[in-house]
Amino acid sequence: MGKPILVTGAAGRVGAIGRTVTELLLKQGKAVRAMVRSEDARAQALRDKGADVVIGNLLDLDSMHSVIAGCETIYFGMSVSDDYLAATVNVAAVAKHHGVRAFVNMSQMTLSQMSVTETTASPQHKLHWLSEQALNWSGLPVVHVRPTVLQEGFFLIFTTDSVKETNQIRLPLGEGKTSPVGVEDVARVITTLLANPQPHIGRIYHLTGPQSGNMHFYAREYSNALGRTITFQDIPVEPWRDGLLGRGLPVHLVNHLVTMADLHRMGRYDRLSDDVLTLTGQAPTSMQELVRRNAATFTVSAKGPEHVRMP
């Protein structure tokens, strides 16, 4: 099998990027070291599928030495966190020490619009941009993967209740266009890069769904998928922000989500790329297909999706 491929964040919920990457690599017969934060049923499930499961902490130097030692290829991904930059630099330092030959970094597509003189109001965007800079300065053989907003990580979470209860998508996105990408599509790209990273070193890939449209367009996609009329209702940002805080989401995450909404309203998420198709040979999943697959969660009798971390 060769040296194991390290996948961080491997114990995410079913359908999360790290977990999906781990499962796809195992199906290809690759040796996978799956880093998790704690020993639980999710970790055992990965072990049962053949992964070498290790407990690690991205912020702990000693921990990451034991996690990374013996691996030449790493997938680094972390949830939205105010510790994001510290974790990136910590992992990069240890990876450099152990002579890692490929470092596939999960980033964000908004960084394509940022520079040393251009930023956004989101602290997370700033941490992501600085993290990319640090990785580039490190001299590590890096591949940056920049997906746009995730279908599951945003729309499946924040539209389920309103569609289920009122047949409306209620979000503060205005008339801006967006091209959400599916988690599985992102995971397939990352798996492709990890399986044969050398041709991609130094590259940046931008991942989007197959269409860019405003929320009225996506309301029609929901309608076609669910067999009933769904409409879009634009709502003010501040009450939405208050609702997110009321749900107990961390302020750092809420500030990031609010910035995403503001950028949508400004048209900054009107993006299209063919990188998913080019790298995997398979077209990205449409929003209509995502909603159709999850139709039960949009019905009154169904339980909504569990919370997932933002990319």
How confident is the model at residue 302, as a pLDDT? 47
- What does pLDDT average to over the chain? 94
Tokens of 214: 């405003």
How confident is the model at residue 11, as a pLDDT? 87
How confident is the model at residue 275, as a pLDDT? 98
Report the alpha-carbon distance of residue 157 to residue 148 in Å, rounded.
16
Residue 210 pLDDT exceeds 70? yes
Reported as a single tens digit per residue, the pLDDT across 294-306 is 999 998 874 545 4
How confident is the model at residue 15, as a pLDDT? 56
Q: Quick one: DSSP state of residue 101?
A: S
Report the alpha-carbon distance of residue 186 to residue 188 in Å, rounded.
5
Got the DSSP string for 177-244?
A: -B--B-HHHHHHHHHHHHHS-GGGTT-EEEE--S--B-HHHHHHHHHHHHTS--EEEE--HHHHHHHH
How confident is the model at residue 308, as a pLDDT? 41
Residue 310 pLDDT exceeds 80? no
Q: Degrees (nearest 5) of the Cα angle 214, 151, 84?
A: 115
Reported as a single tens digit per residue, the pLDDT across 228-245 is 999 999 999 999 999 999
Mean pLDDT to the nearest integer, 139-149: 98
Question: At residue 7, what is the residue type?
Answer: V
Q: Degrees (nearest 5) of the Cα angle 223, 237, 157?
A: 45
Tokens of 36: 């998790």
Instruction: Compute CA distances 73 → 58, 119, 266, 276, whole Å.
Output: 16, 31, 38, 21
Reported as a single tens digit per residue, the pLDDT across 57-104 is 999 999 999 999 999 999 999 999 999 999 999 999 999 999 999 999
Residue 222 pLDDT exceeds 60? yes
Residue 186 pLDDT exceeds 60? yes
Number of continuous H segments (helices) and E segments (strands) in the chain: 13, 9
Mean pLDDT to the nearest integer, 2-23: 89
Q: If you compute the radius of gyration of the chain from its CA atoms, what whole number of angstroms results?
A: 19
Least confident of 11-25, 128-142, 147-161, 181-195: 11-25
Got the DSSP string for 134-194?
A: HHHHHT--EEEEEE-SBIIIIIHHHSHHHHHHHSEEEES-TT--B--B-HHHHHHHHHHHH
Instruction: Look up tokens 């790290």; give the residue.
Output: 18
How confident is the model at residue 301, as a pLDDT? 74
How confident is the model at residue 2, as a pLDDT? 83
Domains of the chain: 5-148+182-207 (3.40.50.720), 151-178+210-271+282-298 (3.90.25.10)
